[in-house]
Amino acid sequence: MSIQQILPGATLGVLGGGQLGRMFCVAARTMGYRVAVLDPDPVCGAGLIADVHIQAAYDDEKALDEMAQLCDVITLEFENIPSQSVRAIAGKTTVYPVAESLEIAQNRDIEKRFALQAGLRPVPYQAIGAEADLKTAAETVGFPAILKTSTLGYDGKGQFVVANEGELADAFARAGQVACVLEKQIDIDCEVSAIVARNAGGEMASFPVAENQHRNGILHMSIVPARVSDDIRQQAVDYAALLADAMNYVGILAVEFFLSKDGVLYFNEMAPRPHNSGHYTKDACVTSQFEQQVRMMCGLTPGDTRLLSPVVMVNMLGELWTPDWSAIFARNNIKLHLYGKTEARPGRKMGHFNVLAEEVGEAISVADAVFERLAGAVGDNAKT
């Protein structure tokens, strides 16, 4: 299938100006494109380096029209952009991913049903729309379980571990009695994520599968290559590709999985954008996920995704601020990436670092040691 290619000199747009948008801007401008960003934050990281920053709400009709006029093609930084805004722009210029893909990823119930239809295996769950559904959900799923709001949940937000019907009722009340899903809590060996890229012609490429470790519901570390079997890695990539094809998806699609102790790979959730667990690609792959995002939205051939080195990515959150930079710069195998955020808050992603080494075990040891030194330095500063 022949598709139109959008070449350097064109203007690319991104809805959302956080760190993902910022890294997209860097990749696009390096490749010779102009970039326009729509974000309400006057000092958003992407807006600071874009050619044009339209400071407005994501549902501002005038701003959306201006973006459509400026840009040859537009993409999304995160999945909570209103789908109505995507539809409004799509009537005037090209937007990837399309609103339908966005709406699938925005709702856990719809997402899980779609994944099941595509041939994946979601964690056993039951949708809850009202208090009257709690008893049926409890009987169907059993305990222990996790109650998750159907929309607007990320980095562990909107999630409650429950051990019985009483705790379920309390959690549903704390969630505001909004639509939720109740998931069975399975015995997890590890979590992995697969990131695939697909252009409008159906050409697809996949990045090496990452093994992810979380702290307090937020990604702490991604280990690549994932310490799972080749069969599990391939299965994760195949499942992600199934989802991308089923949606006729264009762009970067990240898919998270739980690997159970008995070897079953369960679908957890998808993200229609570059993903935190793919930040290792900036230093350890021939093509980063952000360059790949540019390539896919512009109809170009997917870039080479070969892993050049084992790598460990570590998130730096607001509580790890201001760190002892010498812990990083004293080593020659660590790459630091900061996001240009002016205010540090607990849980806020301020940057990350990638540790490259000949063996993944060595990369993990260095990453752990550096993180502990950074955390210790912050603790010492807090005492003085």
CATH number where 287 lies: 3.30.470.20
- Phi first, then psi, for residue 257 (nearest 5°) are -135, 150
Q: Rounded CA gap, 329 and 316, in Å?
A: 15
Does 4 fall in a domain? no
Query: Contact, 328 vs 381, CB < 8 A?
Result: no
Instruction: Return the pLDDT at 171.
Output: 95
CATH number for the domain that contains residue 69: 3.40.50.20
Q: How many helices (H) and strands (E) does the chain have?
A: 12, 18
Does 222 fall in a domain? yes
**Same domain for 229 and 371?**
yes
Does 340 fall in a domain? yes
**Same domain for 58 and 207?**
no
From the centroid of its chain, how far is CA 293? 13
Which tokens belong to 14? 């991104």
Query: What is the 8-class DSSP label of residue 322?
Result: S
Q: Rounded CA gap, 273 and 155, in Å?
A: 15
**Same domain for 358 and 224?**
yes
- Reference 213, options 239, 240, 192; nearest CA is 192
Does 350 fall in a domain? yes
What is the chain's length?
384
Query: Contact, 255 vs 123, CB < 8 A?
Result: no
**Same domain for 302 and 350?**
yes
**Same domain for 91 and 219?**
no
Query: Contact, 221 vs 212, CB < 8 A?
Result: yes
Q: Rounded CA gap, 252 and 258, in Å?
A: 20
- Reference 271, options 63, 102, 73, 60; nearest CA is 102
**Same domain for 231 and 351?**
yes
Does 111 fall in a domain? no
- Provide the domain limits for residue 164: 124-184
pLDDT values of the chain reduced to their tens digit, one per residue, 384 residues:
568 899 999 999 999 999 999 999 999 999 999 999 999 999 999 999 999 999 999 999 999 999 999 999 999 999 989 999 999 999 899 999 999 999 999 999 999 999 999 999 999 999 999 999 999 999 999 999 999 999 876 555 689 999 999 999 999 999 999 999 999 999 999 999 999 999 999 999 999 999 999 998 899 999 999 999 999 999 999 999 999 999 999 999 999 999 999 999 999 999 999 999 999 999 999 999 999 999 999 999 999 999 999 999 999 999 888 778 999 999 999 999 999 998 999 999 999 999 999 999 999 999 999 999 998 866 555 544
**Same domain for 175 and 199?**
no
CA atoms within 13 Å, Cβ hemisphere of 149: 17
Does 155 fall in a domain? yes
**Same domain for 249 and 165?**
no
Does 351 fall in a domain? yes
**Same domain for 211 and 354?**
yes
Instruction: Return the pLDDT at 384.
Output: 44
Query: Contact, 253 vs 275, CB < 8 A?
Result: no
Q: Rounded CA gap, 310 and 358, in Å?
A: 6
**Same domain for 175 and 193?**
no
Query: What is the 8-class DSSP label of residue 185?
Result: -
- Is 11 strand, coil or helix? strand
Total domains present in the chain: 3
Q: Rounded CA gap, 61 and 185, in Å?
A: 43
**In Å, what is the CA distance from 209 to each residue of 230, 278, 320, 348, 369?**
10, 9, 27, 25, 24
Query: Contact, 345 vs 46, CB < 8 A?
Result: no
Q: Rounded CA gap, 242 and 135, in Å?
A: 34
Query: Contact, 90 vs 78, CB < 8 A?
Result: no
**Same domain for 210 and 335?**
yes
Q: Which residues contact 320 (CB under 8 A, 6 or more apart)?
A: 350, 374, 375, 378
Which tokens belong to 103? 């709406």
**Last residue of a domain, which of 74, 95, 116?**
95
Does 38 fall in a domain? yes
Query: What is the 8-class DSSP label of residue 300?
Result: P
**Same domain for 192 and 337?**
yes
Query: Contact, 257 vs 265, CB < 8 A?
Result: yes
Which tokens belong to 279? 């930040």
Query: The pTM is what?
Result: 0.94
Q: Rounded CA gap, 17 and 50, in Å?
A: 9
CATH number for the domain that contains residue 170: 3.30.1490.20
